[in-house]
Amino acid sequence: MNSVMVDFTLNGEPRTVTVKPNMTLLEVIRDEFALTGTKEGCGQGECGACTVILDGKAVDSCLILISQVQGRTVTTIEGLGKDGSLDLLQSSFIEAGAVQCGYCTPGMIMSAKSLLLKNSNPSVDEIKRAISGNLCRCTGYTKIIKAVQLAAMNARDGSAGGEK
């Protein structure tokens, strides 16, 4: 098995990895870059715990081979906050109590982020659709949906609500 060299942008930084070609994007993020916010749940695209944003769109990083991200831009949960402060979505999840065990949270936030990138004022149905590929077994989703609404509202107000 020959290694592959892949150049891509990870959380705003240009990166080059030389890895085994059978590695998934999820494995590279976690094992090569030690960015362990992105979780593995089912490994089959059913749970969304491994969701990252690839060129502006939410994808399951467990179903993407590393060669497929050549030249592309990946954002993980670690790439959302800036200069030590949380992204509005992260602070809204805390404020709304949308986190229980926390395992689904990074993937849930990345799916919500991909929605807010293209729609600053989503309806409840649009939020439900955007997170329909993310399973949460604790919260019952209500507080997650409220958190996304809160983040959208705070972003529209331009307020720093919840940011530290």
Partner 1 sequence: MLQAFDVIRPRSLADALDAIADGNATLLAGGTDLLVRIKKRLLKPQLVVDLSALSELTEIEDEREQIVIGSLVTHGQIVESTLANRYLPVLVQGCATVGSPQIRNTGTLGGNIANASPAADSLPPLTVLDARVIIQSLAGKRELSLDAFITSPGKTQLRSGELITGIAVQKMQDNERCLYRKLGQRKALAISVASVAVRMAFDPAIRTSSASGIAFGAVVPVIRRVPELERMLSQGPLDLQAIKEISERAGEFCAPISDLRASAEYRRNMCSSLLYEVLYDLTS
Q: Name which of residues 71 to 110 contact partner 1 (CB under 8 A).
A: none
Q: Name which of residues 118 to 137 contact partner 1 (CB under 8 A).
A: 129-130, 132-134
How many residues of this chain bind partner 1 (CB under 8 A)?
34
User: What are 137's two structure tokens?
Assistant: 């077994």
Give the H or E element holding residue 4: strand 4-10
Residue corresponding to tokens 């959380």? 11
Nearer to partner 1 (CB atom), residue 60 or residue 162: 60
* Rounded Cα gap, residues 156 and 131, in angstroms: 21
Rounded-to-10 torsion of CA 108, 164, 97, 103: 40
Q: Does 161 bind partner 1 (CB under 8 A)?
A: no
Q: Name which of residues 22 to 61 contact partner 1 (CB under 8 A).
A: 22-24, 27, 43-46, 48, 51, 54, 57-60
Burial of 57 (0-12, 13-18, 19+ CB in 10 A): exposed
Please report how close the Cβ of residue 60 comes to partner 1 at its closest, in angstroms.
4
Rounded-to-10 torsion of CA 110, 111, 116, 117: 70
Nearer to partner 1 (CB atom), residue 73 or residue 86: 73
Please report how close the Cβ of residue 1 comes to partner 1 at its closest, in angstroms.
4
Q: Using CB under 8 A, which of 111, 139, 149, 154 touches partner 1? A: 111
Residue 8's DSSP bridge partners are 15
Residue 74's DSSP bridge partners are 10, 54
- Would you tell me which residues interact with partner 1 (CB under 8 A)? 1-2, 4, 20-24, 27, 43-46, 48, 51, 54, 57-60, 62-65, 67-68, 70, 111, 114, 129-130, 132-134
